[in-house]
Amino acid sequence: MDKEHLISEILLLPQAAIEYHLSKQLAALFPTKALIEGDIGNFDIQGYAAAGLCTLTGRTFTYNQAITYWSGREMEMMQWQHMGIHPGQPMIINGMPMLPPHSSEKNTADTFRKAWLEVQWQGSELDVLIMLSNDMYHHWILADTQEIARGFFATVCEWSTEIRGEVLVFDNGGWYKDEHLFRDIKNATFDNLILKGSLKQDIRDDITQFFAARETYEECGVPWKRGILFVGPPGNGKTHAVKALINSIQQPCLYVKSFRTPHGGPDEMCISQVFDRARKSAPCVLVLEDLDSLVTSQNRSFFLNELDGFAANIGIVALATTNHPERLDPAIVDRPSRFDRKYPFELPELSERRSYITLWNSTLKPVLRLSDEGMENISTQTEEFSFAYLKELFLSSMMRWISNTQQGSMDEVMAGQVSVLREQMVSSSAMSEMPDQVDEQSHMSPRFMTRMIRHGHLRGGM
């Protein structure tokens, strides 16, 4: 078998035999070359080339298959989400980085599925063969010596794992750089975050002191790692606090949204990838958003082993959030050394609501601002409002005022919107509690039924 027909012939074999036979044929065709192979993993060769650190040229003796994607906004959302890929995910598809488009090819991007590439790197010439097999990319590197092959492989992997002023997000079974999330983080500060008492300062001190105390930990023989859990109902600043914290400490950030894959693979594989990348990126912050949805009864044991098993996880701050701590296993929240500190994010009390409303009011055009008396009245009337509902109160009131400027002052408009949003809050709360209010015979409790009737979700007289 010659190299011109190598890929075509190999693809006729059963899937399980392709990698073995391709390795065997490459060794036979290039007996004087050093050969190493592996899964793509951290080997982001196309990203490395896009950064100008090596050059790639497709070998002409074989057909190099590349898939072109259109990255126009609406089509991008539809195509990429159908594939289990986020539109903010540049350069990565199925673990394989995408080629950047030329200036004349705006809104398109390519990714190789099968290709034989000539590489120029630091005065050396190498060949890299890439193939998609069983939904996973595999690569082979041919070089004059093992030293060159392994040096190139290690250099690309090291570059690929570095986090350079960006946020790495793990979702749908792979890592990608989320530019939108990075911008959100850069815009989030503790200055525009209202929290109860000293909570804001306590969180900042906790993290900054941890990263500054490595030598102290080591001198005392204490593992230099940390687990922190933000707990509380939705809309009370947990996500904002995470972003502001990441923005302020200037440490690499890895952000986990899901352990699930688009092809239904085991969570364990994803969990392993997450912690492996975190260990290579340490010191870093590993953000586990909505921990109660990430950890299930099926993957809990494996997750706990990665979090607090044989691996040391040196330099990793596991920063998790949850709206539902009652759904978490006690082995996660109660055992020491997993999540050492739990910070409560509760509904804002009067003083926090007053501060939040004052802060928001100061950002508005004069014609849209509340009076001093109006701010005090709204602060008092919004008991049990989360920060998210307070924000919605401002936005919905402004839209209502703009649509009909004759209906009164902002004080009057917002007072009316308080009643509207409170009704929505009660209705949403009642509906969300429905699964928890059903007994073994699937009948609603009398108390819950009364609440549903009162708010119009059920008719009376049953």
Check whether residue 337 and residue 356 sit in a common domain.
no
How many helices and strands, by DSSP H and E, does the chain display? 18, 13
The CATH number assigned to the domain holding 403 equals 1.10.8
* 127-130 long-range Cβ contacts below 8 angstroms, 24+ apart: 127/33, 127/59, 128/45, 128/56, 129/22, 129/26, 130/40, 130/45, 130/96
Q: Is 170 part of a structural domain of the chain?
A: no
Check whether residue 188 and residue 296 sit in a common domain.
yes
Check whether residue 110 and residue 140 sit in a common domain.
yes
C-alpha 406/C-alpha 255 separation (Å) is 47
Check whether residue 365 and residue 404 sit in a common domain.
yes
Residue 318: which of 287, 340, 292 has the closest Cα?
Answer: 287
Check whether residue 340 and residue 354 sit in a common domain.
no
C-alpha 336/C-alpha 402 separation (Å) is 53
Check whether residue 127 and residue 196 sit in a common domain.
no
Q: Is 267 part of a structural domain of the chain?
A: yes
Check whether residue 335 and residue 186 sit in a common domain.
yes
Across the beta sheet with 226-231, the strand order is 174-177, 167-171, 253-256, 284-288, 316-322, 226-231, 341-344
C-alpha 379/C-alpha 372 separation (Å) is 11
Detail the DSSP E strand segments found in 155-200.
167-171, 174-177
Domain range enclosing 397: 350-431
Check whether residue 75 and residue 139 sit in a common domain.
yes
Q: Is 447 part of a structural domain of the chain?
A: no
Domain end marker among 161, 191, 207: 161
What 3-state DSSP class applies to 362?
Answer: helix
Decide if 415 contacts 380 (C-beta within 8 A). no
Q: Six-digit token pair at 81?
A: 């989400």
Q: Is 169 part of a structural domain of the chain?
A: no
Q: How remote is the C-alpha of 341 from its chain's centroid?
A: 22
Decide if 161 contacts 252 (C-beta within 8 A). no
Q: Dihedral of CA 196/197/200/204: which sign? A: negative
At 78-119, the pLDDT tens digits run 444 434 444 443 343 334 444 444 444 556 777 788 899 999
Check whether residue 298 and residue 149 sit in a common domain.
no
Residue 110 buriedness (CB in 10 A; 0-12 / 13-18 / 19+): middle
pLDDT at 104: 47
Q: Is 209 part of a structural domain of the chain?
A: yes
Q: How remote is the C-alpha of 35 from its chain's centroid?
A: 36
Decide if 172 contacts 178 (C-beta within 8 A). no
Domain count along the chain: 3
* 16-23 long-range Cβ contacts below 8 angstroms, 24+ apart: 18/131, 18/133, 19/133, 19/138, 22/129, 22/131, 22/140, 23/140
Q: Is 221 part of a structural domain of the chain?
A: yes
Strands 34-39 and 136-143: antiparallel
The CATH number assigned to the domain holding 252 equals 3.40.50.300
Intervals of the chain under pLDDT 70: 1, 40-41, 71-107, 133-135, 165, 336-337, 405-407, 428-462
C-alpha 397/C-alpha 411 separation (Å) is 9
pLDDT at 1: 64
pLDDT at 308: 84
Alpha-carbon dihedral of residues 215, 217, 218, 219, nearest 10 degrees?
Answer: 80
Could you tell me the pTM of the whole model? Answer: 0.71
Check whether residue 390 and residue 281 sit in a common domain.
no
Domain end marker among 101, 131, 161: 161
pLDDT at 178: 79
Check whether residue 104 and residue 8 sit in a common domain.
yes
Q: Is 460 part of a structural domain of the chain?
A: no
Q: Six-digit token pair at 304?
A: 């706990």
Check whether residue 99 and residue 195 sit in a common domain.
no
Domain end marker among 344, 373, 390: 344
Q: Is 440 part of a structural domain of the chain?
A: no
Q: Which residue bears the tokens 């693979």?
A: 265
